[in-house]
Structure formats: structure tokens, C-alpha cells
């Protein structure tokens, strides 16, 4: 089983001192500040992302680097187990099935469409995302994936969102960072919302004060 485990890139080239000072240099502008770099440590390729989202986040990927590189190119790379055939997105380097004994998976390109598994309508968020409220956070099963991935679902009227609705994936045309914020979900063009129900009315009512509050917030910011 041990042969299937991936070596971790060492952090020899990592200048921690420089990094601790980065927080001071970054202005408070939401999640606009991003950086991405890649390289090799031993024989392991790595990719690293820094995203400023109220505070500085740093991600360093080793064996999962192809996923981040795929996002930079506007591709969704998932994984498939050669033994059992399970497909997962977000990717898993080793198969999750006990029977597969950590079998190393293969990279596959995923379609830019999926089915909404579950969702929540956010009425509050971290500072950087406040102006986007109320927004829908959706868990989507992309293609044949057995696992769901969470991201924002852009929709005009959030109360119309429903489970099992078809969605498509849209990539940003701005500079990509190899991270989730490079893409979002939208309802598939073929989808039409079902008529209003008492439950939808209830959710719509819950959204109203959020819209009002955001209006005031935008005026003061």
C-alpha cells in the first residue's frame, strides 16, 4: 500500500520570512489580490496559490497540481480509478474504496455541466463577499462524478433554485488563479424555473431584508 503514497514536495525554496510580511502589503480590497506560481521539488511538481480573502490564504499543491493547472487553462480535471472506475471531482489522488488499496487514480477531463445536489442561500458572508449577497452556494455533481463540489451558483432569483436542476460551468475571462474562484455555476440554458410555491414565497421574503441591507451597504462603501 505504501508504494501508492505520494512524496510531499519539500519546502526548501520557501522563504517564510518574506511571507509573513505579505499581509501588511496587501490592501483591503476583497479577494482581488491573487498570485500563482509553480515549480519542482525533487521530482514532484507543485503549484502554489495566494489569495487574499479578508486575510491571506496560501495553498500549495503537490500531486494535485494538475487540477490547479487545469483550472488555469479553463479545464476541469477530475480523477478516475483504473480498478473500480469511480470518478471523482474534486480529484482524489488515491481511490477512496477500501477494496482498491489506495490505487493511484488517472486524470480525466470533466464536462462543463452537472446536476445540483444540494444548496444553501447565504444571507451573510465574509467582508469580501458581502456585496454579492444573497448568493447561492451549490453542491454540484459534475459529469459522472461520485462526489460533489461547492461553488457559487449565479442566478437572478435565488428562491427558484431546486435540487436536481441542471447547471453549467462558466470560467472567468479575467486572470485565473488555479482555484475555485476561477469558475462558477449557472442554470443550464435548457432549465426553466417551476412556478412559485408557498416555500419559494417564504424564501423570497427571507431574501428581501438582505437586498435592502446590501443597498444601504453599497451606498456606504
180 binds Zn ion (CB under 5 A): no
**Could you say whether residue 93 binds Zn ion (CB under 5 A)?**
no
Q: Considering the rule CB under 5 A, would residue 55 count as an interface residue with Zn ion?
A: no
Would you count residue 83 as binding Zn ion (CB under 5 A)? Answer: yes
Measured from the CB atom, the residue of 100 and 188 that comes closer to Zn ion is: 100
With a CB cutoff of 8 Å and minimum separation 6, the contacts of 218 are 131
- Beta carbon nearer to Zn ion, 85 or 198: 85
Nearer to Zn ion, 97 or 132 (CB): 97
Q: Which is nearer to Zn ion, 51 or 87 (CB)?
A: 87
Provide, rounded to whole angstroms, the least separation between the CB of residue 82 and Zn ion: 8
Q: Alpha-carbon distance 204 to 67, whole Å?
A: 37
Closest to Zn ion by CB, 81 vs 93, is 81
Q: Which of 61, 81, 161, 181 binds Zn ion (CB under 5 A)?
A: 81
Q: In terms of Cα–Cα distance, which of 159, 164, 170, 152 is closest to 198?
A: 159
Asked if 68 touches Zn ion (CB under 5 A), the answer is no
User: Which cell is 10 given?
Assistant: 519539500
Which among 5-13, 60-68, 94-102, 166-174 is the span making contact with Zn ion, rule CB under 5 A?
Answer: 94-102
Q: How far is the CB of 92 from Zn ion (least distance, A)?
A: 9
| From candidates 22, 41, 44, 100, binder to Zn ion by CB under 5 A | 100
Q: Are 94 and 69 in contact (CB under 8 A)?
A: no
Among 37, 97, 127, 146, the residue binding Zn ion under the rule CB under 5 A is 97
Question: Which of 69, 150, 81 lies closest to 114, judged by CA?
Answer: 150
Site residues (vs Zn ion, CB under 5 A): 81, 83-84, 95, 97, 100
Amino acid at each position: 500500500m505504501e508504494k501508492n503514497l505520494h512524496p510531499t514536495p519539500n519546502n526548501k525554496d520557501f522563504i517564510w520570512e518574506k511571507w509573513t510580511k505579505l499581509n501588511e502589503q496587501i490592501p483591503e480590497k476583497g479577494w482581488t489580490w491573487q498570485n500563482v506560481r509553480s515549480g519542482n521539488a525533487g521530482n514532484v511538481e507543485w503549484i502554489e496559490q495566494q489569495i487574499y480573502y479578508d486575510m491571506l490564504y496560501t495553498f500549495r499543491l503537490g500531486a494535485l497540481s494538475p487540477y490547479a493547472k487545469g483550472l488555469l487553462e479553463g479545464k476541469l480535471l477530475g480523477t478516475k480509478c483504473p480498478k473500480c472506475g469511480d470518478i471523482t471531482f474534486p480529484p482524489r489522488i488515491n481511490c477512496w474504496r477500501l477494496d482498491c488499496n489506495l490505487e493511484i487514480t488517472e486524470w480525466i477531463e470533466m464536462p462543463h455541466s452537472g446536476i445540483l445536489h444540494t444548496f444553501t442561500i447565504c444571507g451573510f458572508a465574509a467582508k469580501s463577499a458581502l456585496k454579492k449577497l444573497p448568493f447561492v452556494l451549490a453542491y454540484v455533481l459534475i459529469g459522472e462524478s461520485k462526489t460533489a463540489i461547492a461553488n457559487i451558483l449565479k442566478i437572478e432569483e435565488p428562491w427558484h433554485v431546486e435540487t436536481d436542476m441542471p447547471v453549467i460551468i462558466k470560467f472567468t475571462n479575467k486572470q485565473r488563479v488555479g482555484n475555485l474562484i476561477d469558475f462558477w455555476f449557472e442554470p443550464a440554458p435548457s432549465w426553466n424555473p417551476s412556478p412559485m410555491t408557498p416555500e419559494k414565497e417564504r424564501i423570497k421574503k427571507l431574501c428581501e431584508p438582505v437586498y435592502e441591507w446590501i443597498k444601504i451597504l453599497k451606498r456606504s462603501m
